[in-house]
Amino acid sequence: MLTALVIDESHTARAQVTGLLELAGWGVHEAGDAEDAHWLNASLAVDLVVTGATVPGSPSGAALLTELRNAGSTARFLVVTPEPTVEVRAAAATAGALACLPAPVDTQLLLDLLARRAAAPTALVDADDLHDTDRDDELADRLQAMYDAALPGRFSAIDRGARAGDPQALADAAFTLAGTSGQLGHPEVADVCQAIAADARRGVLAHSRVSALAGLAGVERRVADRRRAPGAVHADRGEPRGTRDRRRAQADRRSRAVAAMSAGTATDVLEQAADAAAGRLAARRRGPAGC
């Protein structure tokens, strides 16, 4: 399974790229600053690094890529920025980036680039050229099918965060779904997810918004409240909230989930995702064992 490291101080920007890569079968880890990026780069075998043009703790995203390369990284590099100026593109090229893409990242552009350009070294790619020559007419349909299959699981993560009384988990899950929904043409889902995440950042668990999201996503949400006290052990994860190792454990769980989805053919991936989502929904309807 291919592994990516997404670096940006903006959680929203990271979620947009992370969600797209995960839909395409990548295992993804995230870093919000240069320190975390260096730690993850030293700890993991990363195939792709996607960074913003500016990163806290480093002079620039391009400078950070150079630091990672000097530290031994063999990954492909991408730079993503709202304003890919001549200076930013030149710095990205100097750092060995495959492309400098405008943000928010176009779904088809990113995945076409990775599928068709990452196999061999090449000069810095111009995004306009990719739109003209590399657009896969079938990619949109494939992405939509993957999005539909993954949607129940994405919603389940949001629902668990709300029921567990975990604002951080709720915000993370909502941001991820907001990013992919906005990119794949579901603005109403993206808007609700962004509102849920914004509330969670203020410590508000917006159960009414989560219920509204369930309606938009076409899934059922149980009314029973299963919130756990802070520090309680999660039955589905076997670890207490707030532990020092939680960030790494979350990344490991995400990688294992993507690895499982990537084990078969493209058809198998969709079937496995749908089966897993159905199992989670059925488990929620049954409630805790013994009830």
C-beta of residue 14 within 8 angstroms of C-beta of residue 39 = no
Report how far residue 289's alpha carbon sits from residue 269's, in angstroms, rounded to the nearest whole number. Answer: 29
Question: For position 267, what pLDDT does the model report?
Answer: 39
SS3 20: helix
Q: Are strands 27-31 and 48-52 parallel, antiparallel or unpaired?
A: unpaired
Question: For position 76, what pLDDT does the model report?
Answer: 92
Per-residue pLDDT tens for 87-114?
999 999 999 998 899 888 877 778 777 7
Q: Mean pLDDT, the chain, as a whole number?
A: 75
Report how far residue 62's alpha carbon sits from residue 50's, in angstroms, rounded to the nearest whole number. Answer: 10
Question: For position 181, what pLDDT does the model report?
Answer: 86
Question: For position 118, what pLDDT does the model report?
Answer: 46
Question: For position 107, what pLDDT does the model report?
Answer: 76
For the segment(s) 3-136, the CATH number from 2.40.160.20, 3.20.20.10, 3.40.50.180, 3.40.50.2300 is 3.40.50.2300
Question: For position 283, what pLDDT does the model report?
Answer: 52
**Within the chain, which residues score under 70 in pLDDT?**
116-140, 222-291
Question: For position 116, what pLDDT does the model report?
Answer: 62
Phi, psi of 111 (to 5 degrees): -70, -35
Question: For position 80, what pLDDT does the model report?
Answer: 94
Question: For position 158, what pLDDT does the model report?
Answer: 93
Whole-model pTM: value is: 0.56
**Domain range list for the chain:** 3-136, 141-286
Question: For position 4, what pLDDT does the model report?
Answer: 94
